[in-house]
Amino acid sequence: MRVVGYLRVSTQGQEYGIEAQRSAIASRAQHEGWEVEYVEDAGRSGKDINRPGITRALDLLRTKQADALVVSKLDRLSRSLADFARLMETASKQGWGVVAIDLGIDTTTPTGQLVVNIMASVSQWERQMIGLRTKEGLAEARRNGVRLGSPVRMDPAVERRILVERQAGRSLAAIASGLNDDRTPTPTGSGSYYPSTIQAALSRLRHQNGK
């Protein structure tokens, strides 16, 4: 059987990773009696299949110059369930198989097709659950009053002005209005000052001064 041995690493210069994959495929090919043509993508992410190497491999398979696509590990092929599903659909329509050596899977068999689809689905589910737990954790933090993100540092000169004016008896609204009237830049460089902004600055200053 003629196969395409596909090799991929995410970072340029990972010769060991490429050669380890090549060695695994060569060993399997020798055992099975395959004729192998190697195609590689060095320094390419697995988040999608927009890669010159995999494009070349798919062209060989489409034109019947090879019968199967072989990878040492399934994640060398794709980390995207959508891309992987499309790849499997293309393989089915065009009549070629996918072999993932690490999992002992060969999609030229019905069992191999089933196992690969289940594992890809579980991987996608796991990523979605991680995202959901992260969102739930952030929502809970907000409900508990935890400020998220990196704090924006106010100009020390503006902080001193706020403190002096507050000590002089000015209201929070008056201080904010004065800063806006003077077109004093906010910490983010846009927007306006509000009483809540002034209160937050004063609270931060009291905390820093241990008061």
Q: What is the structure's pLDDT at 137?
A: 74
Do 105 and 162 lie in one domain? The reply is no
- Residue type for position 73: K
Q: What is the structure's pLDDT at 33?
A: 93
Token duo for residue 174: 């008056």
Among candidate residues 79, 111, 143, the one where a domain is terminated: 111
Instruction: Determine, yes or no, domain membership for 146.
Output: no
**Strand 105-106 and strand 97-100: pairing?**
antiparallel
Number of independent structural domains in the chain: 2
Do 13 and 95 lie in one domain? The reply is yes
Residues in the chain predicted with pLDDT less than 70, given as ranges, are 12-16, 81-82, 116, 119-120, 122-124, 126-127, 130, 141, 145-152, 210-211
Q: What is the structure's pLDDT at 28?
A: 93
Task: Quote the CA–CA distance of 167 and 61 in Å, as a whole number.
Answer: 78
Instruction: Determine, yes or no, domain membership for 26.
Output: yes
Evaluated on CA atoms 184, 189, 191, 194, the torsion sign reads: negative
Instruction: Determine, yes or no, domain membership for 67.
Output: yes
Task: Quote the CA–CA distance of 76 and 46 in Å, as a whole number.
Answer: 7
Q: What is the structure's pLDDT at 56?
A: 94
Among candidate residues 78, 111, 144, the one where a domain is terminated: 111
Instruction: Determine, yes or no, domain membership for 55.
Output: yes
Q: What is the structure's pLDDT at 116?
A: 67
Domain that holds residue 25: 2-111
Instruction: For residue 105, report the phi and psi dihedrals to the nearest 5 degrees.
Output: -110, 140
Do 99 and 174 lie in one domain? The reply is no
Q: What pTM value is reported for the model?
A: 0.53
Do 105 and 160 lie in one domain? The reply is no
Do 16 and 107 lie in one domain? The reply is yes
